[in-house]
C-alpha cells in the first residue's frame, strides 16, 4: 500500500504497518541504543550501522548485535522479539578518541559463544580486529595510515574465509587483507595485475607476505558500498561516480555495469538467489538490475531523498508453482545452491524450501515474488515487491500483487535497438552500439503505449532483454513521475562482458590464486592509473537538492556542475549514456511503486536488516528498532505486553 502523503499525517511516526502477510509492529521495549537512551547529536558524525552474528549459544539466545553511535561502539545480546532489551548490561562498550567507527562486520564462520571476530573500520582509515566477548583487541590494520588515509566506507569478511577480508575507502580503493599478515612499516609498492574500463587491480610487491594482498581502484570518487553475491563469487560495487560495477571476484573480471539516473550510488544488495541486484543512491530511486541479462529491469520511486540502504527480505521472497520461464536457466541443483547461499546474515532461511521447490512437471508459469526494502534520508522505509510481470514481461501479465506501474513494463527501448544483450558482448561494444543506436533513434518514439503491443514494436523475438535499453538517463523532461524524486536507476551495473571467473573451492585458494597469478605479470612494474578516458562517469554533484523536481535538474543543477572541474566532460558523457543500456530512460523500464512507504523516524535512516522473525532499522539518533513480523509479537513475554499495542498510528 502506497503511503498517502501530505496532510496532518506528514510528520507522524508510524509504529506499525500492514502488508499482505499481516501487520508489522514496532516493539518499543526491544529498542537498542546508548544506555541512557538519550538521542545522539548526529551532526557531523558517521552513520549509525548495525551488525548481527549468531554464536550458536546452547541457551537458544545466540544472537549478538553490534552498533556504533558517534565515537562509541556497543555489543549486546540481541533478544529480538523474545524479551525486552536490557541496555544496562552491554557485553562490550568502547569509546574511541581521535577517530570514529564507520562500519563493522562479524565473521559468521569463526563465531562461538566464547569468541567472535569483529572487524571495525574507522573514519581515519584504520581497521581494527577485536573480540568483544574476550574483550581483546587482536590487531590494528593500516595503523600508520600508509595504505590509505581516507575514511573506511565498507568492510566485509570474504565469504567462506576465516582470514581474508575486504575494505573499501572513500578514496575509491578497495584492499584485500589477510589477518595473519602484517601491514609493514613502509608504504606498499604495487604491481599491476589487471586493468579494465575504469578499474585496475594491483598486487603488493614485497619479499615477505604483507598486507594488503591486493588493491582495487574502482571508478572515480568514493566507493560507498560493496556486497558479495550469495555464492561469494561476484562482487557488486556502488560508487560515488554513479556506477554499479559487478566483478568476478577471483579473476577480477568486470561482469557488468550500470549507471544511476544521476548522482552517486550509496548502497547495493543481492537477491537471495543471486539473480538480481538492487542499488540506491542520490537519485532517490531504487534500481533493479538483472545479473544474467546485465540490464536494468525496473526502478522504484517512493523516497523523497537519498536512499541509504537497500536489502532483500529472504523470508518473504518466494518461487512457487510451475517451471520458471526461460530466464530461469540453470539446473535445479544450481538454483537450490544459489538460494542456499542467500540466507542473509547467518539466519535460518524459511524461504529456502519455498525457493527451491519447483515442480518440473507443471507447465504453468512460475509465480515469483521478491521482496526488498529500502530506507533513506527522508526518514521513510519502503517495501517493494518484484513480481513475475516485471521479471518476465513477455509472459501474459499476471494479476498484479504489487502497486506496479506497468505503464511501460514491456515497452521496448525507445532506441529500437536490435543488439540483443548476450552475455558474451563486451561492455565497450554494448555501450557503443546502444549509444549509437539511441542517437539514431531518439527516445520517446516508442511512447508509453507499448505495453500491450511490445511484440510489434520492432524487437519481435527479443522483447525482453533488448526492450529495456541500458542507458544513463539524465533528467528527462517527460518524466512520468513528475515528482521530486527523479526516476533513477540507482544501482546496478548493466554491462554485458563475459564472465570467465573460475570457481575455487576455498577462499584461501582465492587469495593465493590471485597473488600467484599476479607475479606472472612480472614485466609490469608501473603504478597503474585509471584510464584517462574515464568517460561515462559523471562527477558527483555535491549540491544535490533533496526535493528537486526532475525538470529543474538539467537546467539549474547543470549550472552548478559547470563550476566543477570536469563538468563539461561529465555532461557530455552523461548525455551519451542517456537512453543506453547503462541507464535507460524512465519510460523504458517498469516503474515500481512501494508496497509500503512509512515515516518511521525523526532522523535519517541508516540501517535496514531483515531477520527471520523481525526486521531491524536504525536512525542517526542512535536508536535501533525491532519490528516484529506478523504473528511474531506473541513471542514476547508478558511483561512486555505494551509492545503489543503501540500507541502510534496505523495506516
Q: What HEC string does 131-167 produce?
A: ECCCCEEEEEECCCCCCCCCCEEEEEECCCCCCEEEE
Residues 225-283: pLDDT tens digits?
999 999 999 999 999 999 999 999 999 999 999 999 999 999 999 999 999 999 999 99
- pLDDT category of residue 76 using cuts at 50, 70 and 90: very high
In the prediction, which pLDDT does 123 show?
Answer: 96
| Residue pointed to by grid coordinates 606472472 | 520
Residue range 167-190: mean pLDDT, rounded: 96
Residues 601-611: pLDDT tens digits?
999 999 999 99
Res 380 pLDDT > 80:
yes
Cell representation of residue 299: 526502478
Highest average pLDDT, of 54-58, 111-115, 146-150, 363-367, comes from 146-150
Taking residue 38's Cβ as centre, other Cβ atoms within 10 Å add up to: 10
Long-range contacts of 115-121 (CB under 8 A, 24+ apart): 116/53, 116/55, 116/64, 117/157, 117/179, 118/51, 118/53, 118/66, 118/75, 119/155, 119/157, 119/165, 120/68, 120/73, 120/155, 121/152, 121/153, 121/154, 121/155, 121/167
Contacts of 57 (CB under 8 A, 6+ apart): 113
In the prediction, which pLDDT does 572 show?
Answer: 60
Extents of the domains making up the chain: 231-320+367-394+579-599
In the prediction, which pLDDT does 429 show?
Answer: 37
CA distance 633 to 288: 32
Long-range contacts of 534-537 (CB under 8 A, 24+ apart): 534/198, 534/220, 535/569, 535/573, 535/576, 536/198, 536/243, 536/259, 536/431, 536/472, 536/573, 536/576, 536/577, 536/582, 537/198, 537/219, 537/220, 537/241, 537/242, 537/243, 537/570, 537/573
DSSP one-letter code for 431: H
Cell representation of residue 174: 578497495
Phi and psi at residue 106, in whole multiples of 5°? -90, 150
User: H helices then E strands: how many in the chain?
Assistant: 8, 35
Mean pLDDT for the chain?
Answer: 73
Q: What is the DSSP string of 300-337?
A: EE--SS-EEEEEE-TTT-EEESSB--TTS-S-HHHHHH
Res 640 pLDDT > 60:
no
Torsion of CA 171, 174, 178, 179, to 10 degrees: 50
Of the ranges 8-17, 80-89, 203-212, which one carries the lowest mean pLDDT score?
A: 8-17
- pLDDT category of residue 473 using cuts at 50, 70 and 90: very low
In the prediction, which pLDDT does 569 show?
Answer: 56
CA distance 232 to 227: 9
Res 564 pLDDT > 70:
no
Highest average pLDDT, of 466-470, 545-549, 568-572, comes from 568-572
CA distance 441 to 414: 7
Res 67 pLDDT > 80:
yes
Residues 295-337: pLDDT tens digits?
999 999 999 999 999 999 999 987 664 444 334 434 444 444 4
- pLDDT category of residue 440 using cuts at 50, 70 and 90: very low
Res 133 pLDDT > 70:
yes
- Return the closest-CA partner of residue 589 out of 495, 496, 489: 489
In the prediction, which pLDDT does 244 show?
Answer: 98
pLDDT over 70, % of the chain: 59
Res 486 pLDDT > 50:
no
CA distance 257 to 273: 19
* DSSP E strand stretches across 214-294: 214-218, 223-228, 234-239, 243-248, 253-259, 265-270, 276-281, 285-290
The H or E element that residue 574 is part of is helix 567-577
CA distance 495 to 582: 7
Q: Among 3.90.1570.10, 2.40.50.100, 1.10.599.10, 2.130.10.10, name the CATH number for the domain at 231-320+367-394+579-599.
A: 2.130.10.10
Residue range 613-623: mean pLDDT, rounded: 95
In the prediction, which pLDDT does 298 show?
Answer: 96
DSSP one-letter code for 476: -
Amino acid at each position: 500500500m502506497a503511503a498517502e502523503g501530505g496532510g496532518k499525517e506528514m510528520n507522524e511516526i508510524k509504529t506499525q504497518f500492514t502488508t499482505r502477510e499481516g501487520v508489522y509492529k514496532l516493539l518499543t521495549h526491544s529498542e537498542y541504543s546508548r544506555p541512557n537512551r538519550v538521542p545522539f547529536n548526529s551532526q557531523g558524525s558517521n552513520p549509525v550501522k548495525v551488525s548481527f552474528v549468531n554464536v550458536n549459544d546452547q541457551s537458544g539466545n545466540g544472537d549478538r548485535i553490534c552498533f556504533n553511535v558517534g565515537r562509541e561502539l556497543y555489543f549486546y545480546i540481541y533478544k529480538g522479539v523474545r524479551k525486552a532489551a536490557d541496555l544496562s548490561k552491554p557485553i562490550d562498550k568502547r569509546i574511541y578518541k581521535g577517530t570514529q567507527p564507520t562500519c563493522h562486520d562479524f565473521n559468521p564462520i569463526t563465531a562461538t559463544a566464547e569468541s567472535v571476530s569483529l572487524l571495525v573500520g574507522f573514519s581515519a582509515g584504520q581497521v581494527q580486529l577485536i573480540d568483544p566477548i574476550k574483550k581483546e583487541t587482536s590487531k590494528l590494520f593500516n595503523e600508520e595510515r600508509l595504505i590509505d588515509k581516507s575514511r573506511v566506507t565498507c568492510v566485509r569478511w570474504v565469504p567462506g574465509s576465516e582470514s581474508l577480508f575486504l575494505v573499501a575507502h572513500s578514496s575509491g580503493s578497495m584492499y584485500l587483507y589477510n589477518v595473519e599478515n602484517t601491514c609493514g612499516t613502509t608504504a606498499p609498492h604495487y604491481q599491476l595485475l589487471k586493468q579494465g574500463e575504469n578499474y585496475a587491480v594491483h598486487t603488493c610487491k614485497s619479499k615477505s607476505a604483507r598486507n594488503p594482498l591486493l588493491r582495487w581502484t574502482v571508478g572515480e570518487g568514493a566507493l560507498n558500498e560493496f556486497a558479495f553475491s550469495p555464492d561469494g563469487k561476484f562482487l557488486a560495487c556502488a560508487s560515488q561516480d554513479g556506477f554499479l560495477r559487478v566483478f568476478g571476484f577471483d579473476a577480477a573480471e568486470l561482469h557488468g555495469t550500470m549507471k544511476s539516473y544521476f548522482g552517486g550510488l550509496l548502497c547495493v544488495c543481492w537477491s537471495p538467489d543471486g539473480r538480481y541486484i538492487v542499488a540506491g543512491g542520490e537519485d532517490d530511486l531504487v534500481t533493479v538490475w538483472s545479473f544474467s541479462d546485465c540490464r536494468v529491469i525496473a526502478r522504484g520511486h517512493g523516497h523523497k531523498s537519498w536512499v541509504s540502504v537497500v536489502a532483500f527480505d529472504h523470508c518473504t521472497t518466494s518461487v512457487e508453482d510451475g517451471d520458471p520461464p526461460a530466464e530461469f536457466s540453470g539446473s535445479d541443483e544450481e538454483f537450490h545452491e544459489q538460494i542456499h547461499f542467500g540466507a542473509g546474515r547467518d539466519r535460518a532461511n524459511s524461504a529456502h524450501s519455498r525457493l527451491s521447490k519447483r515442480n518440473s512437471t507443471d507447465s504453468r508459469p512460475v509465480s515469483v515474488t521478491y521482496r526488498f526494502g529500502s530506507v533513506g534520508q527522508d526518514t521513510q522505509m519502503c517495501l517493494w515487491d518484484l513480481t513475475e510481470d516485471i521479471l518476465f514481461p513477455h509472459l501474459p501479465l499476471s494479476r498484479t500483487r504489487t502497486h506496479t506501474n506497468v505503464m511501460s513494463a514491456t515497452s521496448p527501448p525507445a532506441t529500437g535497438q536490435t543488439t540483443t544483450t548476450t552475455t558474451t558482448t563486451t561492455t565497450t561494444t554494448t555501450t557503443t552500439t546502444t549509444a549509437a543506436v539511441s542517437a539514431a533513434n531518439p527516445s520517446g518514439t516508442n511512447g508509453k503505449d507499448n505495453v500491450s503491443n511490445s511484440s510489434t514494436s520492432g524487437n519481435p523475438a527479443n522483447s525482453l532483454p533488448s526492450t529495456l535499453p541500458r542507458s544513463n538517463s539524465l533528467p528527462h523532461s517527460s518524466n512520468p513521475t513528475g515528482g521530486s524524486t527523479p526516476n533513477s536507476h540507482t544501482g546496478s551495473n548493466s554491462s554485458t562482458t563475459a564472465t570467465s571467473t573460475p570457481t575455487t573451492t576455498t577462499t584461501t585458494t582465492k587469495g593465493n590464486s590471485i597473488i600467484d597469478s599476479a607475479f606472472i605479470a612480472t614485466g609490469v612494474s608501473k603504478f597503474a592509473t585509471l584510464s584517462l578516458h574515464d568517460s561515462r562517469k559523471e562527477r558527483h554533484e555535491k549540491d544535490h537538492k533533496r526535493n528537486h523536481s526532475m525538470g529543474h535538474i538539467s537546467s539549474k543543477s547543470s549550472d552548478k556542475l559547470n563550476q566543477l572541474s570536469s563538468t563539461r566532460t561529465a555532461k557530455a558523457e552523461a548525455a551519451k549514456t542517456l537512453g543506453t543500456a547503462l541507464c535507460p530512460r524512465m519510460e523504458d523500464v517498469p516503474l515500481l511503486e512501494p508496497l509500503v512507504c512509512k515515516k518511521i523516524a525523526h532522523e535519517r535512516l541508516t540501517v535496514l536488516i531483515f531477520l527471520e522473525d523481525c526486521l531491524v532499522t536504525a536512525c542517526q539518533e542512535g536508536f535501533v528498532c525491532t519490528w516484529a513480523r506478523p504473528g511474531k509479537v506473541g513471542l514476547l513475554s508478558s511483561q512486555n505486553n505494551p509492545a503489543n499495542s503501540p500507541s502510534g498510528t496505523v495506516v
